């Protein structure tokens, strides 16, 4: 055993207890994680795992090498240690770096448990799972082996495989991520005939003799009166796998895919669907893990006193990395979800006190008194190991009496694990968000609009005689309950859509920005919640990519593929689009066309804008890109031809009128 192996074993031994206790605490807090298997790895292995998206094996491809390089250089420059990696599988596998100190390791473990809960409960992950879990590691390994076989097959050859994988990867994001992964997508198709022939067991030679390509195509052409696909198809990979061809240079025409090619498309497509839920819930998931990690490490002092400082440093670094930070946005939103739900619960009580209405709320309610009432009782907040009677004296629903008994027998270390004495309700009260110093003003900051809207749905507005009485009925777990419900049902799009309010944007100082052509740099455009939301949704919807669908598989009645870009106010990167289109050709075998809307600023407009020192106003024009295997041509389209692509209600452009 090498020295590092010994180190790993030792570290693993030390951490086993932490892992067990973290899981216990997580469950007490209401989390319900997949079982997690922890592994201790060294720095190189960690970087490898990250390169492979948290798995040990992937199909051979240089993209992993590139990821690894990027990761390695980033950690060099930013001094960031790769902290954790956990994958979505049942059981989940999580990897801890051997060299990290104990505080970091504990932070990672608590973080991981929260992720595992998210994987297990969020319904979007359920879209992929088989019934017995995703079986991801097994799947990825199978794929890796298969691709390796292709690479080594002398009939196929390395170049061809790599080239084909490259091609498929260019459209790996163009899937229907909202749908569950369908292994055999139904296709209503002219290829049914080919399939029937295949199933008849007719030999290739006979088939080619009688049913020549031309004949088959003619059949397709006849059926071409019926629009195909009937509805725009968003899963490009599935469509191309079914109906695409590849272009044979020598033969000078489109030919059927080889079996290995079809298989490869399907494998990569499956992987894309596997990873899609993670990508569509990244903000939620990271925020969720950061939130619970903080609760466990900071508030429950899962870290010892000395470790806590290291931990604070760790959190600071993670949350303050530059640029758009999903951890931060996610965590802030979750805290907001919690606070809002708790506030609503309190409001629903207070507004039912005799004499309190939404109009006079701020005048009749003494927020100091309320704050005091909401604060957790002393014995719950800070457990005195020598005074277990005080714990026993707490409201019954808060206490885990079995644990209390064990504590009295000295079978439980109350000093280290005070949380073991309590139930979920008890812990919810203990960590009640509105009682935390940083949120004490939250209740009072409620707007009149919200007060009015809450009271609209209240029956029995005179239920309580005093504020004290009302507060006695407060469900302190309202915040957490809501959070657990949301983590099940939402994804980043719906999460942001529902919870990003003006109050949130103001409190956390978010803003939207755009590029200014006049100034040549990026400038803030707005701090209005709708605009910030729009920019975020642009990033989250459809995996942050423009929506491209197959509109016609028999364009111009010549079997050309027509793709439509569903324009939402933000144009395509045309250079990239051209390059991608060329790749799509390799999967269709016949000319491919992309219709889009792009923005153009005329010279005249630019001059005018400069003279008036304002942002130039671009005109939106229809554009067609067509690639036939040799030439790529641009042509302008009448607006009528792209009208159907430009959704009027969606516009992600936030530049205000009087911007600069």
- Which one, 439 or 510, has the nearer CB to other proteins? 510
Please check whether residue 543 is in contact with residue 177, taking contact to mean a CB–CB distance below 8 angstroms.
Answer: yes
53 binds other proteins per the rule CB under 8 A: yes
Q: Which residues are within 8 A (CB) of 58 and not within 5 positions of it... i.e. 6 or more apart? A: 52, 64, 140, 143, 144
**Mask: binding to other proteins, 517-536, rule CB under 8 A, as x and -?**
--x-xxxxxxx----x--xx
Please list every residue from 290 through 329 that binds other proteins, using CB under 8 A: 318, 321-328
Measure Cα distances from 658 to 77, 181, 570, 613, 617 in Å. 40, 46, 20, 11, 12
* Stretch of 19-27, 168-176, 305-313, 385-393 contacting other proteins, by CB under 8 A: 168-176
Read off the tokens for 99: 């060299």
> φ, ψ for residue 629 (rounded to 5)?
105, -20
Please list every residue from 377 through 436 that binds other proteins, using CB under 8 A: none
* Stretch of 18-26, 53-61, 198-206, 393-401 contacting other proteins, by CB under 8 A: 53-61
- Which one, 211 or 511, has the nearer CB to other proteins? 511
Helix (H) or strand (E) holding 75: helix 62-78
575 binds other proteins per the rule CB under 8 A: yes
Rounded to 5°, angle at Cα 393 from 389 and 397: 125
Please check whether residue 59 is in contact with residue 166, taking contact to mean a CB–CB distance below 8 angstroms.
Answer: no
Please list every residue from 347 through 376 that binds other proteins, using CB under 8 A: none
Residue 14, number of CB atoms within 10 A of its CB: 12
- Which one, 318 or 370, has the nearer CB to other proteins? 318
Read off the tokens for 49: 């795992």
* Stretch of 79-87, 351-359, 429-437, 468-476 contacting other proteins, by CB under 8 A: 79-87
Q: Which of 8, 19, 40, 84 binds other proteins (CB under 8 A)?
A: 84
Measure Cα distances from 359 to 2, 339, 363, 448, 455 in Å. 72, 22, 9, 7, 10
Least distance to other proteins, CB of residue 350, Å: 33
Least distance to other proteins, CB of residue 642, Å: 16
Q: Which of 13, 65, 402, 441 binds other proteins (CB under 8 A)?
A: 65
Residue 556, number of CB atoms within 10 A of its CB: 11
Picking from 242, 246, 238, 245, the residue whose alpha carbon sits closest to that of residue 268 is 238
Read off the tokens for 50: 């990250």
Q: Which residues are within 8 A (CB) of 93 and not within 5 positions of it... i.e. 6 or more apart? A: 36, 37, 39, 54, 86, 87, 137
Beta bridge partners of 562: 552, 593
Please list every residue from 594 through 653 that binds other proteins, using CB under 8 A: 599, 652-653
Please check whether residue 39 is in contact with residue 86, taking contact to mean a CB–CB distance below 8 angstroms.
Answer: no
Classify strands 246-248 and 632-637 as parallel, antiparallel or unpaired. unpaired
- Which one, 240 or 478, has the nearer CB to other proteins? 240
Q: Which residues are within 8 A (CB) of 651 and not within 5 positions of it... i.e. 6 or more apart? A: 534, 568, 569
Picking from 489, 544, 510, 498, the residue whose alpha carbon sits closest to that of residue 328 is 510
Least distance to other proteins, CB of residue 147, Å: 9
654 binds other proteins per the rule CB under 8 A: yes
Least distance to other proteins, CB of residue 369, Å: 34
- Which one, 521 or 649, has the nearer CB to other proteins? 521
57 binds other proteins per the rule CB under 8 A: yes
Least distance to other proteins, CB of residue 524, Å: 5
- Which one, 241 or 328, has the nearer CB to other proteins? 328
How many residues touch other proteins under the rule CB under 8 A: the total is: 98
Task: Tell me which residue has tokens 């990290």.
Answer: 100
Least distance to other proteins, CB of residue 495, Å: 14
Least distance to other proteins, CB of residue 578, Å: 8
Read off the tokens for 163: 């080239």
> φ, ψ for residue 252 (rounded to 5)?
70, 25
Give the gyration radius of the chain's Cα atoms: 30
Q: Which of 43, 61, 344, 624 binds other proteins (CB under 8 A)?
A: 61
3-state class (DSSP) for residue 597: strand
Q: Which of 48, 220, 293, 425 binds other proteins (CB under 8 A)?
A: 48
Q: Which of 27, 43, 67, 344 binds other proteins (CB under 8 A)?
A: 67
**Mask: binding to other proteins, 215-254, rule CB under 8 A, as x and -?**
----------------------------------------
50 binds other proteins per the rule CB under 8 A: yes
- Which one, 270 or 431, has the nearer CB to other proteins? 270
Read off the tokens for 217: 């195509």
- Which one, 119 or 422, has the nearer CB to other proteins? 119
- Which one, 380 or 493, has the nearer CB to other proteins? 493
- Which one, 87 or 339, has the nearer CB to other proteins? 87
- Which one, 474 or 496, has the nearer CB to other proteins? 496
Query: Rounded to an integer, what distance in angstroms lies between the CA atom of residue 123 and that of residue 125?
Result: 5
Q: Which of 515, 619, 641, 644 binds other proteins (CB under 8 A)?
A: 515
- Which one, 60 or 185, has the nearer CB to other proteins? 60
Least distance to other proteins, CB of residue 11, Å: 18
Question: Cα 142 vs. chain centroid, distance in angstroms?
Answer: 25
Least distance to other proteins, CB of residue 150, Å: 12
159 binds other proteins per the rule CB under 8 A: no
3-state class (DSSP) for residue 626: strand
Query: Rounded to an integer, what distance in angstroms lies between the CA atom of residue 464 and that of residue 452?
Result: 19
Query: Rounded to an integer, what distance in angstroms lies between the CA atom of residue 247 and that of residue 655?
Result: 44
Measure Cα distances from 581 to 4, 74, 245, 352, 552 in Å. 49, 32, 15, 62, 15
82 binds other proteins per the rule CB under 8 A: yes
Please list every residue from 538 through 567 that binds other proteins, using CB under 8 A: 538-539, 545-546, 548, 565
Please list every residue from 89 through 118 that binds other proteins, using CB under 8 A: 115
Q: Which of 29, 144, 303, 379 binds other proteins (CB under 8 A)?
A: 144
Classify strands 246-248 and 253-255 as parallel, antiparallel or unpaired. antiparallel
Please check whether residue 8 is in contact with residue 42, taking contact to mean a CB–CB distance below 8 angstroms.
Answer: yes
**Mask: binding to other proteins, 262-291, rule CB under 8 A, as x and -?**
---------xx--xx-xx------x-----
Please list every residue from 473 through 502 that binds other proteins, using CB under 8 A: none
512 binds other proteins per the rule CB under 8 A: yes
Q: Which of 404, 428, 571, 623 binds other proteins (CB under 8 A)?
A: 571
Least distance to other proteins, CB of residue 537, Å: 10
């Amino acid at each position: 055993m090498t020295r590092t192996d010994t180190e790993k074993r030792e570290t693993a031994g030390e951490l086993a207890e932490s892992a067990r206790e973290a899981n216990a605490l997580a469950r007490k807090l209401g989390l319900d994680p997949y079982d997690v298997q922890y592994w201790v790895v060294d720095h190189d292995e960690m970087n490898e795992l990250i390169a492979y998206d948290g798995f040990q094996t992937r199909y051979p491809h240089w993209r992993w090498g590139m990821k690894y390089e990027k990761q390695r250089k980033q950690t060099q420059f930013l001094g960031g240690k790769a902290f954790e990696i956990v994958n979505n599988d049942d059981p989940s596998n999580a990897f801890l770096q051997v060299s990290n100190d104990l505080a970091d390791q504990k932070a990672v473990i608590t973080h991981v448990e929260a992720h595992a809960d998210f994987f297990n409960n969020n319904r979007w992950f359920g879209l992929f799972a088989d019934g017995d879990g995703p079986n991801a590691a097994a799947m990825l390994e199978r794929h890796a082996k298969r691709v390796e076989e292709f690479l080594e097959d002398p009939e196929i050859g390395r170049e061809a495989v790599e080239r084909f994988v490259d091609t498929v990867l260019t459209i790996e994001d163009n899937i229907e991520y909202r749908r569950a992964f369908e292994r055999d997508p139904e296709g209503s198709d002219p290829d049914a005939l080919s399939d029937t022939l295949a199933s008849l067991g007719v030999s290739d030679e006979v088939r080619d003799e009688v049913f020549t390509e031309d004949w088959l195509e003619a059949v397709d052409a006849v059926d071409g009166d019926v629009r195909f696909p009937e509805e725009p198809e968003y899963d490009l990979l599935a469509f191309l796998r079914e109906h695409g061809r590849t272009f044979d240079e020598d033969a000078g025409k489109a030919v059927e895919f080889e079996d290995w090619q079809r298989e490869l498309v399907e494998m990569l497509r499956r992987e894309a669907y596997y990873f899609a839920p993670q990508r569509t819930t990244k903000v939620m998931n990271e925020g969720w893990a950061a939130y619970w990690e903080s609760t466990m490490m900071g508030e429950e002092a899962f870290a010892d006193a000395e470790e806590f400082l290291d931990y604070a440093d760790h959190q600071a670094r993670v949350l303050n990395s530059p640029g758009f930070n999903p951890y931060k946005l996610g965590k802030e939103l979750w805290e907001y979800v919690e606070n809002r739900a708790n506030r609503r619960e309190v409001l629903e009580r207070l507004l039912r006190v005799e004499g309190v209405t939404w109009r006079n709320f701020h005048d009749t309610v003494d927020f100091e008194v309320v704050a005091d009432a909401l604060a957790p009782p002393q014995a719950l907040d800070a457990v005195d190991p020598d005074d277990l009677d005080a714990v026993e004296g707490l409201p019954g629903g808060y206490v885990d009496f079995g644990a209390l008994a064990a504590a009295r027998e000295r079978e439980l270390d109350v000093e280290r694990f005070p949380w073991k004495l309590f139930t979920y309700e008890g812990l919810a009260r203990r960590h009640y968000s509105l009682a935390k110093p940083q949120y004490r003003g939250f209740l009072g900051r409620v707007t009149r609009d919200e007060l009015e809207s809450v009271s609209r749905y209240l029956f029995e507005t005179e239920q309580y005689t005093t504020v004290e009485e009302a507060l006695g009925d407060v469900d302190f777990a309202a915040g957490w309950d809501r959070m657990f419900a949301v983590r099940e049902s939402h994804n980043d799009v719906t999460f942001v859509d529902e919870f990003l309010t003006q109050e949130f944007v103001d409190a956390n100082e978010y803003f939207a920005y755009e590029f200014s052509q006049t100034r040549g740099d990026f400038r803030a455009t707005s701090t209005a919640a709708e605009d910030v939301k729009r920019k975020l949704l642009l990033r989250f919807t459809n995996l942050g990519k423009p929506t491209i669908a197959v509109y016609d598989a028999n364009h111009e009645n010549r079997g050309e593929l027509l793709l439509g870009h569903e324009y939402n106010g933000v144009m395509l990167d045309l250079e990239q689009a051209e390059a991608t289109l060329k790749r799509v050709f390799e999967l269709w075998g016949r000319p491919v066309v992309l219709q889009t809307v792009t923005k153009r600023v005329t010279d005249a407009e630019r001059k005018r804008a400069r003279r008036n020192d304002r942002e130039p106003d671009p005109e939106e024009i229809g554009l067609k890109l067509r690639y036939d295997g040799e030439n790529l041509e641009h042509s302008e389209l009448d607006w009528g031809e792209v009208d159907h692509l430009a959704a009027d209600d969606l516009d992600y452009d936030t530049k205000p009128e009087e911007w600069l």
